């Protein structure tokens, strides 16, 4: 049995009845290569219609670029890579707009992420363009893990850099407002990208995983927020000891114990240090019935760091997730944090 299959089985046993989950993990940056793009017909069962070809869709206002939802694929560094692009009908080619990338979790895909997180609706309401990248083998390579992306040494930092550059060439993207979010595996990948690609990413806000790695010499502080359910059964709120056991004794992949003592509060303090924030205790403290926000706001480059704790939240801390049950609009909290920042 493959190691990744064994991990997934263990994860599901840990999860109980909580549904489908993501997982995590990062790699280094290399030069991207030129690629050929193709538009791919959508074969998944989703709630939205994917256009096969941008030329088949009527474009309003007599301008030139695509609007709606489509899937594209390309050969990138020897592997087929795909992503969904959603462009609101209201997008005006003469006005620059934000770009948001939303990364799925381990074992799920870009269509699942789009239909679950509500970020396409956020884009529609706020005139932003959103991409839902597809991880290789439904996974992202975070360095010590996970799945096919790790096994094939996929450079996901390069892939996301390419998508940002490609989108800026095709659409009126404001390069000062490039935002990243994701769930679990996609959240860890988002934080890894914050560390490795702070030159092109404005801010990161993601759900249910931590940053495990060393500060990149090229890192320049950017705003980072992590959303975590207090009852997360996969990436525990207190620490990742259970996950560390799976890594070391089941997968045989050691991270030197780095993950064992990493929890939500530790992750907050790690980013506080990386963003060179002042103060020893959080200067942002907002309490509500279903969640609270704490963080540090006096940081280098005007950055900030925040942790959103959803009181009854599980690993799936989105509004449709078990424990949240629609009590917290996670997508809106994420957007509110991201959208107030510009390079």
Residue 143 pLDDT: 77
- Distance CA(51)–CA(74), nearest Å, equals 16
Burial of 126 (0-12, 13-18, 19+ CB in 10 A): middle
Q: Is the pTM of this model over 0.85?
A: no
Name the token pair of 205.
């806000």
Pairing mode of beta strands 173-182, 203-207: parallel
Average pLDDT over residues 298-323: 94
**pLDDT value, residue 303:** 98
CA distances from 111 to 5, 136, 193, 228, 310 (A): 22, 14, 21, 22, 25
Question: Is the pLDDT reported for residue 23 higher than 90?
Answer: no
Residues 98-133 have pLDDT tens digits of 999 999 999 999 999 999 999 999 999 999 999 999
Q: Which top CATH class is 3-339?
A: alpha beta
Residue 36: predicted pLDDT: 44
Average pLDDT estimate for 85-94: 93
pLDDT one-digit tens code per residue, 134-173 = 999 999 998 777 888 888 999 999 999 999 999 999 999 9
pLDDT in tens, 25-55: 323 333 333 334 444 444 444 344 444 444 4
The pLDDT value given to residue 258: 56
Q: What percent of the chain has pLDDT over 70?
A: 75
pLDDT for 144 equals 75
């Amino acid at each position: 049995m493959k190691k990744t299959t064994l991990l997934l089985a263990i994860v599901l046993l840990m999860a109980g009845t909580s549904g489908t989950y993501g997982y995590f993990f990062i790699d280094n940056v290399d030069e991207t290569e030129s690629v050929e793009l193709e538009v791919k017909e959508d074969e998944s069962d989703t709630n939205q219609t994917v256009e096969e070809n941008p030329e088949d869709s009527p474009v309003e206002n007599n301008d030139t670029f695509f609007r709606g939802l489509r899937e594209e694929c390309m050969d990138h560094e020897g592997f087929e890579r795909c992503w969904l692009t959603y462009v609101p009908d209201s997008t005006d080619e003469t006005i620059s707009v934000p770009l948001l990338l939303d990364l799925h979790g381990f074992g799920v895909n870009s269509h699942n992420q789009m239909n679950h997180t509500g970020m396409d609706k956020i884009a529609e309401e706020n005139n932003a363009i959103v991409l839902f990248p597809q991880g290789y083998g439904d996974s992202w390579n975070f360095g010590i893990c996970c799945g096919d992306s790790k096994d094939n040494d996929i450079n996901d930092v390069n892939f996301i850099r390419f998508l940002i550059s490609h989108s800026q060439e095709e659409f009126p993207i404001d390069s000062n407002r490039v935002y990243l979010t994701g769930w679990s595996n996609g959240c860890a990948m988002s934080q890894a990208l914050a560390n490795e690609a702070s030159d092109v990413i404005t801010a990161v806000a993601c759900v249910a995983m931590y940053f495990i790695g060393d500060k990149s010499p090229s890192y320049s502080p950017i705003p980072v927020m992590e959303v975590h359910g207090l009852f997360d059964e996969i990436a525990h709120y207190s620490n990742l000891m259970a996950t560390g056991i799976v890594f070391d004794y089941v997968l045989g992949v050691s991270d030197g114990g780095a993950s064992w003592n990493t929890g939500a509060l530790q992750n907050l303090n790690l980013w506080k240090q990386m963003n060179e924030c002042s103060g020893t205790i959080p200067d942002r403290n907002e309490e509500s019935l279903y969640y609270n926000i704490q963080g540090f706001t006096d940081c280098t480059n005007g950055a900030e760091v925040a942790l959103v704790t959803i009181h009854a939240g599980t690993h799936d801390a989105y509004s449709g997730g078990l424990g949240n049950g629609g009590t917290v609009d996670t997508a809106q909290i994420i957007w509110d944090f991201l959208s107030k920042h510009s390079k």
